[in-house]
Structure 1
Amino acid sequence: MSNNSPIPSSFGCPCGKSPGDCSKQSYPNANTTESAPAGPAGPQSNTPTPTTSGPSLPDSDAGPQKKSFGSLEAQLPETDPADEILENARAIDHDHAFALVSGGHDSLTAAHYTYMESAVDLNGYLHLDTGIGVPETEDFVEKRADDLGIPLYIAGERRHEDEYSQRVEVYGFPGSNKTSHKYEWICNKDRPLQNFLQQFDGDVLLISGATREESDARWENVNANGIEKKNGHYYAAPLASWTPSEVRAYRRDNGLPMNPVSEILEHSGDCMCGAYADRRELGWLHAEYPHMFAYIQSLEARVIDAARNGDLKDEKYERFVLWAHGDISDRELDQKHSNKQMTLCRACEDVEEANLSVGTDDPITLTEAALQLDDDELPDSPTLFRDAFDVTQAIPDDNDSPIETLRRGYEALDEVATRLGYDDHKEMIREKASNSEP
């Protein structure tokens, strides 16, 4: 792509239309019932230093469960109750056991139930660092582990080229299709998990918060007995038979706190990759987690400049320069995947079924607004958008957590604003901006 045309019309707005032609759209959903395996094993992660009696719920209704298929009803095997699943899991010959905890309601409930029932001797909680998660979610998981006095382990080791920030500058942001979502799951969750598990000799048992009742995809992917073996390790889903109301009842009866991120975003926020996302989430991030908003806007600036300079892997990826763009065409068709089931991306399954509108009437990020300007309004620079909108440029390249660095920066800004008599930095900026208006 020539640098003489700063804003090619092929990527002027979230849906890929030229500037001024975009209107709010609803995109069809895709069923994510497949999944993919880990790619080649990356370097082994170092074992992190650990940060340092609930009642059983009623079993599911007696009798066979039924699932309707049009005019037909299939008699399906009854899903095993939680205590039976855990008893069967304990009987499995395993050497280590971890509870997978994303920060969402189900995974935290399953981990707490397993711990309180003492059915499985847990080595600790295991949280996957996706590289694109709201850091407050990891903080919340750490507090819940501390409440029980159980170690927390973080798995986030992946190859440099698998880092989210690196991949979007090659392929653009993922869209609303199962191919893109599958590749995000592989790089963001599965490869760090497999790298973590490679440290251990013998079989590992992983406790999952998956329930069969939460979506059609989970009904198909979670076994009725709640136990399966993948990549040589066992997964047990003690809540396989629980309904969302039963999960809420357990949390209420046991006084389990809610993740504030989940209450705002309606998912744990552990992975904000943008696949099947609603772009309006950026407005919520801007209001509640400005450091996360600033990071995503910075990534948009990088991707836009990559597209302007012809650095994306394919010209067709120029449509994918905005986070949660909602395009339903495939992004990584040249990537190799297989059929492994995904059990760690509940939020995306929920969004697929929600048929959310991802188009917006007004730009949400400054990068999106700048894309709608005429070419002659912008200087011809290969780093135009990064220079204007990428706040991560001031962060050293060897920094392992730019999002956390941004969070500390915003916290410091809030502290300064408080000392000056403002509620927070946003109030201070609004007043300064209004005073500077002619």
Structure 2
Amino acid sequence: MGRRYVSNLAEMLPGMPDAVAKQPVKAAAPPPARTLDQAIARSHDIIAEALDRYPIVARQALFSGGNDSAVLLHLVHSYLDSSPHDAVVHVNTGIGIEETRQHVRDVAGAWNLPLRELHPRDSYDDLVLGRVLARTGPNAGKRPVWKGFPGPGGDSHKVMYRRLKDEPLQRNRAAIIGGRGRREKVLYLAGMRWDESERRMRNAEEIDPEGGIIWCSPIVHFTNAQMAEYRRRFHLPRNPVAEHLHMSGECECGCFAKEGELDEIEFFYPKTAYRIRSLEKKAEAAGITACKWGQRPPGSRDTAKPGSIAGRLCSKCPSAGGQTDLLDLWAKQGLLTPAPACPPAPALPQVA
């Protein structure tokens, strides 16, 4: 979970103007203070601009299952009915928490939205165990593209992001438009925000073309306070995984796991922890040096450059590990009582 920027106006009354605390690097000017209604109107203007500028043949909303992405999905749901390819898209990395995947399915079903659940070609287990061989280049068919658990630093996160998230999205795009990228585009509506993390402040843009994909971030200008106000106004469902772990849990690759995170996961979601610990035993039995989830591989060092982009959909991965062990902290405070399950998603309300 990266550092978050909190506006000085975060405690204001609902409906009062709010602004992003800093000027994003890629923004032409500091975002103006806006009420929530004005922020919503700006979001629709951003989407309209993307649809006007590019030959869009499919509109797809990326839904991680997190509480922020629920705001994005609710705001853009009315755009997902122009073609048979329009849909809610969830990338099932294969190493996420099942309760989050079920939350995604429940929300899409309750809101009567078509859902595409994408899967990576190479599984997380095969990557960790070194079973995925290079398909191109001088090492094709000879050397694995990765071996062991990814830890903080270096190229581990790049490999995991590209294999587990980007590859399914690129394959999804290819299935829709094939080689017609210059003439036809897929619009990926994503929930990136400038107020979300330091990385987003550097790298997020309203509209960002990438070959046959047009990345669009309609809520990029939303502040934390506006997100909270939006959830309250429209009574959006909350993901219990995010309530427990303060992250969506759709990808637990361990690249930037904080200290004690696996114990934290085990307390709330023992099946996921058991699956990870079982893979640790397989890696150790195979003689793989990096056989511990969420730890820097022995002898490795952090070669990541400051300000490097970890991946469009990995907003809250920190730049370094070593955070406080929350499980120990909660135990000392007597807070280790699982929260009751969140209610199912309500029927889809309309945006004002």
Structures share fold, TM-score greater than 0.5: yes
Decide which of 209, 218, 221 is 1:241's aligned counterpart.
221
8 A contact 2:108–2:114 mirrored in 1: yes
Q: 1:30 to 1:283 in 2, by over 3 A?
A: closer
In 2, Cα distance between equivalents of 1:167 and 1:344? 20
Structure 1 vs Structure 2: percent identity of aligned residues?
28
The match for 1:186 is 162
Decide which of 53, 77, 100 is 1:137's aligned counterpart.
100
8 A contact 1:83–1:238 mirrored in 2: yes
Cα deviation for residue 78 of structure 1 reads 3.7
8 A contact 2:100–2:239 mirrored in 1: yes
In 2, Cα distance between equivalents of 1:255 and 1:215? 25
Decide which of 21, 39, 45 is 1:84's aligned counterpart.
45
8 A contact 2:63–2:70 mirrored in 1: yes
8 A contact 1:133–1:271 mirrored in 2: yes
8 A contact 1:157–1:196 mirrored in 2: no
> CA RMSD, aligned part only?
3.5
Partner amino acid for 2:62? Answer: L
The match for 1:111 is 73
Higher helix share: 1
Decide which of 297, 319, 324 is 1:352's aligned counterpart.
319
Decide which of 170, 191, 201 is 1:219's aligned counterpart.
201
Decide which of 203, 228, 243 is 2:185's aligned counterpart.
203
In 2, Cα distance between equivalents of 1:60 and 1:255? 21
Unmatched 5+ residue regions in structure 2? Answer: 4-14, 33-41, 131-146, 178-183, 329-352
- Equivalent position SS for 1:173: coil
| 1:194-218 Cα shifts (integer Å, max 9, x gaps) | 1122111231101000001111211
Q: 1:149 to 1:119 in 2, by over 3 A?
A: closer
Decide which of 242, 247, 255 is 1:267's aligned counterpart.
247
Alignment of 1:92-111 (within 5 A): 92-111=54-73
The match for 1:49 is none
Partner amino acid for 2:280? Answer: E
In 1, Cα distance between equivalents of 2:326 and 2:279? 19
Partner amino acid for 1:110? Answer: L
The match for 1:343 is 312
Q: 1:222 to 1:360 in 2, by over 3 A?
A: closer
In 2, Cα distance between equivalents of 1:341 and 1:232? 21
Decide which of 231, 237, 260 is 1:257's aligned counterpart.
237
The match for 2:350 is none
| 1:58-101 Cα shifts (integer Å, max 9, x gaps) | 87649x96479xxxxx9952449323212212323200010001
In 1, Cα distance between equivalents of 2:225 and 2:164? 30
| 1:221-245 Cα shifts (integer Å, max 9, x gaps) | 112xx00111321011011101122
The match for 2:123 is 163
In 1, Cα distance between equivalents of 2:128 and 2:326? 20
8 A contact 1:165–1:299 mirrored in 2: yes
8 A contact 1:99–1:126 mirrored in 2: yes
Q: 1:199 to 1:228 in 2, by over 3 A?
A: same
Cα deviation for residue 293 of structure 1 reads 1.1
Partner amino acid for 1:342? Answer: G
1:125 aligns with 2:93: no
The match for 1:46 is none
In 2, Cα distance between equivalents of 1:331 and 1:353? 12
> In the comparison of the two structures, how many residue pairs are matched?
280
Unmatched 5+ residue regions in structure 1? Answer: 1-28, 32-56, 69-73, 313-317, 334-338, 362-438
Cα deviation for residue 284 of structure 1 reads 2.6
In 2, Cα distance between equivalents of 1:177 and 1:210? 23
Q: 1:59 to 1:155 in 2, by over 3 A?
A: farther
| 1:142-189 Cα shifts (integer Å, max 9, x gaps) | 11111221101011041xxx3210121232111111511111101110
In 1, Cα distance between equivalents of 2:96 and 2:119? 11
Higher Rg: 1
8 A contact 2:18–2:226 mirrored in 1: no
Decide which of 285, 306, 310 is 2:286's aligned counterpart.
306
In 2, Cα distance between equivalents of 1:341 and 1:300? 24
Cα deviation for residue 119 of structure 1 reads 8.9
Partner amino acid for 2:316? Answer: A
The match for 1:231 is 211
- Equivalent position SS for 1:197: helix
Q: 1:163 to 1:354 in 2, by over 3 A?
A: closer
Cα deviation for residue 326 of structure 1 reads 4.0
Q: 1:104 to 1:359 in 2, by over 3 A?
A: closer
